[in-house]
Chain A
Amino acid sequence: MPEMVDGKRIFTLSEVTGSIQKALAARYSSSFWVKAEMNKLNHYPHSGHCYPDLVEKSEGRVVAQLKATLWRDDYLRINREFVKVLHAPLKDGITMLFCARISFDPVHGLALRIIDIDPVFSLGELEREKQESVTRLQEEGIFGRNKTVAFPLLPQRIAVISVETSKGYADFQKVIQQNPWGYKFFHVLFPSLLQGDRAVESIRYQLARIRKVAAHFDVVAIIRGGGGEVGLSCFNNYTLARDIALFPLPVITGIGHATNETVVELVAWRNAITPTELADFLLQRFHAFAQPVQRAEEVIAATAIKMLGETRETLRHTVRYFRSVTRHALLDNHHAVNRCSDDLVRQSGLLLSRARQSHTASYVRLSSASAMRCTAARTDLRSLDVMMRKDITAFLRSEKSVIDGVARTINHLHPVNVLRRGYALARINGKIVTSTADITVGATLRTEFADGAVESTVTAIETKPKDEAAREGREGE
């Protein structure tokens, strides 16, 4: 019972806790279903009991928090169900629907005693946020976008988003800096929170910074490690996953956990399970570059030597072959020339003698034919001469008699002879008169005879009629 001191009613702590216990037992007599996120399972392997931390979040902020108890037998039964349904044991960071009862222990305080957990609900809740992000990115057509960014041949310049003091970052640096092949990397740390409420905005802020200097880098590496399985839900955040999907450089992740891949890891160009594996991946890329170069060196050198050797050998064979072939060819040609020379001499001698014979025959035929032809021509000429002489004499004789006749006629007709035969010529003023019409009375008429002439004066003119004159003219002929 409470004691009274100075008018104050004073309770012991156990009385208070006992009162709370009684009041709660009266108020919460039955079990009920609760939805909450289990931030941490807090399983104690020694006792087998669990003391989960339950939280409720609204827009990323914790709005309610309560401890819970999960006794060993309940835990084992529920865990079996989880493995069966979720293919994973009960674990931190899942939202769950559970059946619980308020319990208050004077020593351990207020807690929800978990009697049962619905594994199907947890499965759905866990996947819901993740699936929503995935679906939205897929609907926007950007889910696989980062994977289509061309990966550089040598991912040498790395923008690292990590926590400077984290084990994951240290592991990563150790692997790439101490690689035994002397590969050289360049990396700059962009420090960021990687779990908890502010991780999303912190990573996005650093992505925005890297984007501004993206030309200096080949890849972005998000490296976490040592943080266990807690607080991975930020990597299922839609806005963060979207930034990564749309990032202009390939984003590679080494977040270091054993559960299903988060959305960020799904959209990343490449997801390695741990930071060490991520560093190995980069080294593999370097190998993939270095090995062909090494091989090129070997192949080119070996092939060049082989080709030169083969060519030299071929050349030697060719020279030998050429020498023998040319020698044969020369000999063959020499023989052929000799044969031709002999043939030429023989054939030309034959042709010459044949031509000579043919010439002689032609000469004989030609001279006999021309002699015959000369004799015939001479005979012809002689007979023609005889005939010509005969013809010329006869022709001359007949022409002479014709000329003699003409001469006699011409002699008879000479004016002297005509005048001797009694004809006279009458003239007036030197002009011969043949008609009375030309004469006038009193004109001096000169009459010429064979032996001279007289001049007389005309005293009378008698003119005969014309037809009589004509008739007399005809009779006188």
Chain B
Amino acid sequence: MSNKEPTYTEAFEELQQIVAEIEEGQISVDELSEKVKRAAVLINICKAKLTSTEQDVNRILKDLDQTAGELPADERSL
């Protein structure tokens, strides 16, 4: 378990892993508390991802402008 915030893909996969372990009865009561805590963190990451985006249109447009000069002049007017 790394210290940095997992990506939602990592969070999703780790969550599935925990569910699988729990369903297969691989988790002991000793580990349960830690796993449940971890699962709660992962669930929050996944749910947050579903209902929010951090994209910034202006940044994308800026990136596009930086490369626009490489395109033919007639196509830029499109």
Residues in A lying within 8 Å of B, measured CB to CB: 152-154, 156-157, 181-186, 188, 191-192, 201-202, 205-206, 208-209, 212-213, 216, 286, 289-290, 292-293, 295-297, 299-301, 303-304, 307-308, 311
Contact = CB atoms under 8 A, between A and B. Distances in A.
Interface in B16-48: 16, 18-19, 22-23, 27, 29, 32, 35-36, 39, 42-43, 46-47
A118 B36 CA distance: 71
Interface residues of B, number: 34
Contact of A186 (B29, B43, B53, B75): B53
B19 A299 contact: yes
A213 B60 contact: yes
Contacts, number: 95
A183 B51 contact: yes
A297 B27 CA distance: 16
Nearest to B63: A213
A311 B31 CA distance: 13
Contact of A157 (B22, B35, B47, B55): B55
Contacts of B55: 157, 186, 216
A292 B16 contact: yes
A290 B43 CA distance: 10
Nearest to B55: A186
A304 B60 contact: no
A13 to B, nearest CB: 44
A301 B78 CA distance: 55
B50 interface: yes
Contact of A154 (B8, B27, B32, B42): B8
Residue of A153, A188, A311 with most chain B CB atoms under a 10 A cut-off: A153
B50 A292 contact: no
Contacts of A185: 53
Interface string B48-72: 0111110101011001100100010
A293 B71 contact: no
Contacts of B15: 292-293, 296
28 contacts: A153-B8, A184-B51, A184-B52, A186-B53, A186-B55, A188-B57, A205-B75, A205-B78, A209-B71, A212-B67, A213-B63, A216-B59, A286-B50, A289-B46, A289-B50, A290-B46, A290-B47, A292-B15, A292-B16, A293-B12, A293-B15, A293-B50, A296-B42, A297-B39, A299-B23, A300-B19, A300-B36, A308-B32
B43 A156 contact: no
Contact of A290 (B27, B32, B50): B50
Contacts of A192: 78
Contacts of A209: 64, 67, 71
Contacts of B42: 296
A289 B52 contact: no
Contacts of A299: 19, 22-23
A296 B67 CA distance: 44
Q: Which of B23, B29, B43 has the most CB of A within 10 A?
A: B29
Contacts of B32: 304, 307-308
Contacts of B35: 300
Contact of B60 (A156, A201, A216): A216
